[in-house]
Amino acid sequence: MRTGDQRLKLGIAVTALVAVVAIILSSVALANRSSSRSVTRTPASGVYLNAASDRPHFFIALTNLGGGRVRGAVDFQYQDGQTSSVFTFRGTSQSLRSGAATGVLTLTPERVPSHTSAQLMSPPPSAVSATYGANQITLGECASYLAVTSLSRCLFALSSGAP
């Protein structure tokens, strides 16, 4: 083999090796950049139910105001479809970070109507701790303040329809 041919083959091999190393380094850099970016999610605005909509149930009407702020109400729907307000709230949310299973909500009850709430709940705590994730909200210790104990399931799932 001639020296020129050997140099050409060596040059091609070195160029191919440099290209492979560049591709690998680019892939690693892209993966690191993607994983270091913090994707955050906040609770979705909507109606969350703790039972089937055709049965008596509590529901949360939540509005995400952005900037870590939420507003809403906890209400009760009777078998005949009538509803009663249990309490309204304002609150804060800590964003659900990429890879985390749940985020945190802190809800502060504001208005508790006295006429119907006495049947539906005990005095609420000054702050209600909750978690959220994957289209659901879990109210902390809800059985201690939602008086209809057989219906005070603390897990509320986002509904696609009416309460």
pLDDT digits (tens, 9 = 90+) for 30-88: 555 544 444 457 899 999 999 988 899 999 999 999 999 999 999 999 989 999 888 99
Which ranges of 37-160 does DSSP label H, i.e. alpha helix? Answer: 114-120
- Domain assignment of residue 163, yes or no: no
- Domain assignment of residue 4, yes or no: yes
Q: Are residues 97 and 118 in the same domain?
A: yes
SS3 102: coil
CA distances from 83 to 75, 92, 94, 140, 148 (A): 7, 26, 30, 23, 14
Q: Are residues 30 and 85 in the same domain?
A: no
Report the range of poorest mean pLDDT among 17-26, 64-73, 142-151: 17-26
Integer Cα distance of 56 and 116 in angstroms: 15
Q: Are residues 85 and 136 in the same domain?
A: yes
Q: Are residues 66 and 132 in the same domain?
A: yes
Q: In terms of pLDDT, which residue wins out, 81 or 116?
A: 81
Q: Containing domain of residue 4, as a range?
A: 1-37
What pTM, to 2 d.p., does this model score? 0.71
Number of domains into which the chain is organized: 2
Q: Are residues 72 and 6 in the same domain?
A: no
Identify the band that residue 17 occupies on the pLDDT scale cut at 50, 70 and 90: low
